Structure 1
Amino acid sequence: MKEHSFLSRVRKILPDLHPAELKLGELVCDFPGEIASYSASELANLAEVSNATVTRFVRRLGYTSYEEARRHARLEKDSGSRLYLNTSKVEAPHSPNVYAQSDIKNIERTIEDLEEADIEALSNTLLTAKKVSLIGFRVGAPLAQYLQWQLLQVIENTVMLPSSGQTLGENLAALTSEDVVILFGLRRRVSQFDTLLEVISQSNAKLVLISDESLSAYSKADWHFRCSTLSSGPLFSHVGVMSLLNLITNRTIEAAGEQGRKRLASIECLNELLGEL
């Protein structure tokens, strides 16, 4: 049986709560990160209810103790739910400069961990691959599409998976050691992500994993780039990811040399002939 999430438990019992418990329940729904961070007494003070109310509340949720409820909330917080980034005490800074400084730090943290040799090796591997496949879910989907569009300038057989009307299994079954798979694993990751990682690893295709900092280093990946995604607001920042993609695509185009320039020239001629741009 699938375990209900912490927040789904809270929302389910809200209509049946007494006034003090309801006050606590509404606080937790709006700011679930509080229960992941605070002790029972601290949460009681924050909601202006008694410790006994907190105890009754967590038991109504089906937990044997406050610590059990907090552990469950922490697991959801670690999974990357944006709701857990909100707090009841601190207002999100609205100054554009605050967000800019946060994004600059994300770019610096992402790039400073890179080895130039890794980018060079990846670029050469992409250019010699039989096929380059990109997979992304949720926020990873548009980032994967962007990378595919850029690589297409010099790598003809660059595709998004799954192909239209097909399943991932139908596409992954054809992978060989001559292929490269670029997989985006950004929070919040889909439930089949770990299984997908294992399937790609067993295919012998080269695996490029692009994730946020919450994912531990994956030893079976040929390249694992962990990007900083911290933010001053409730949403994760992905400028660090974009800086990585910018680096990969530009270096790949440069490494393509004369053959890459010929393909780019051919594309530009066709764009002009067809009047598409």
Structure 2
Amino acid sequence: MENPIVKLQQKISELTETQRRVADYIIKHPLDVAFLTVDQLAAIVGTSTTTIMRLTFSVGYSGYTEFQKGLQENLRHQAAPQTRLEANIKGISGNNLWSRYAESQINSIQDTINMTSPESLEQAMDMITSAKRIICTSVRSGLPIAQYLTHGLNRLFGNAQLVVADVSDWADSVVNMNSNDLLIAISFPRYARRIIDFAKIAKDNGVQVVSITDSYSSPLVKYSDLILLCNSSSIAFHNSAVSSMFIADYLISALAINSPEKTKERLDKVNSILTGMNYHHLN
């Protein structure tokens, strides 16, 4: 049976705002939804049972019951990895802040794995490798991710550029962007207006847009060709960068492994230059 989470993700751009809110909850809490009645789910999300039924129809199911069976079947297939994760967590003492932080981040990464499908990551890599130019943009808590991704992609392909959306004058460059270019926008609550403006204008110019964000309720969704979801919650006041960095590092690693013919020659040349400059400190 096809994964209902993947089917939701594939149809997300066609859903209404209310249906996207329901889809967000299902994607983030699949284990809970697998055993909730439609009335219980409606009460939790704050919508009607009719909205949920229409959502399940729109992704190809005969109703909520069939959708839920698909969800239960998918969770059974994931039982082994979840058990391994739970075993790791049980080895962590809950008596101090460091342990609670570690447990929180392990859970966030597992949530991110559940929310972002391998198919979405493959599509992102295809878009990156086929792009003539790659622009990574973010502000505040998302900026380290954009910087890291820009560095990694530029090292691999030599065509990545960082734009800090709230300080860079990107309006002059976006008018020259077209369908051969790719914008990777990274934003978490509170979503930055300038990133949303950048994504909208880029999309209007035919640019492909990949967004790394926390939910399908993000304002970036409207202007994105592909969404990579991650859990940005933390044990304090801020958006955590750990799960989004997990996605960024995976993309860089997977691209290097899967595209050796495109990356090896460039990496060898860069390493040769850095070695010749005595760039790195040697003991």
TM-score band, normalised by the shorter chain? 0.5 to 0.7
The one of 203, 206, 210 equivalent to 1:204 is 206
Instruction: Map residues 131-170 of structure 1 onto 2, 5 A cutoff.
Output: 131-161=133-163, 167-170=169-172
Deviations 1:120-167 (A, max 9, x none): 22212212211001111112222101111111121111111269x961
* 1:239 and 2:242 correspond: yes
* TM-score of the two chains, using structure 1 as the length reference: 0.61
Give the distance between the partners of 1:171 and 1:217, measured in 2 at CA.
Answer: 20
Give the distance between the partners of 2:196 and 2:154, measured in 1 at CA.
Answer: 28
Counterpart for residue 190 of structure 2: 188
Q: How many residues are treated as equivalent by the alignment?
A: 184
Give the distance between the partners of 2:248 and 2:193, measured in 1 at CA.
Answer: 25
Residue pair 2:116, 2:229 contacting (<8 A) in 1 also: no
Counterpart for residue 97 of structure 2: 95
Give the distance between the partners of 2:146 and 2:178, measured in 1 at CA.
Answer: 21
The one of 267, 271, 277 equivalent to 1:268 is 271
Counterpart for residue 257 of structure 1: 260
Cα separation, partners in 2 of 1:94 and 1:233, compared to 1, 3 Å: farther
Cα displacement (A) at 1:119: 1.5
Identity fraction in percent: 20
Cα displacement (A) at 1:193: 3.6
Residue pair 1:136, 1:185 contacting (<8 A) in 2 also: yes
Residue pair 1:211, 1:225 contacting (<8 A) in 2 also: yes
Cα displacement (A) at 1:217: 7.3
Cα separation, partners in 2 of 1:217 and 1:226, compared to 1, 3 Å: farther
Higher helix share: 2
Query: Which amino acid counterpart does residue 110 of structure 2 have in structure 1?
Result: E
Cα separation, partners in 2 of 1:227 and 1:258, compared to 1, 3 Å: same
Specify the structure having the higher radius of gyration (Cα).
1
Cα displacement (A) at 1:247: 1.2
Deviations 1:44-73 (A, max 9, x none): xxxxxxxxxxxxxxxxxxxxxxxxxxxxxx
Instruction: Provide structure 1 residue ranges, at least 5 long, that are not aligned to the other structure.
Output: 1-92
Residue pair 2:121, 2:251 contacting (<8 A) in 1 also: yes
The one of 148, 170, 173 equivalent to 1:171 is 173
Give the distance between the partners of 2:233 and 2:200, measured in 1 at CA.
Answer: 28
Counterpart for residue 48 of structure 2: none
Aligned with 1:177: secondary structure? coil
Aligned with 1:153: secondary structure? helix
Query: Which amino acid counterpart does residue 125 of structure 2 have in structure 1?
Result: S
Cα separation, partners in 2 of 1:137 and 1:211, compared to 1, 3 Å: same
Deviations 1:175-227 (A, max 9, x none): 11000000111222223343333212111111011112362671441111121
Cα displacement (A) at 1:169: 0.2
* TM-score of the two chains, using structure 2 as the length reference: 0.60
Give the distance between the partners of 2:195 and 2:256, measured in 1 at CA.
Answer: 30
Residue pair 1:201, 1:207 contacting (<8 A) in 2 also: yes
Instruction: Provide structure 2 residue ranges, at least 5 long, that are not aligned to the other structure.
Output: 1-94
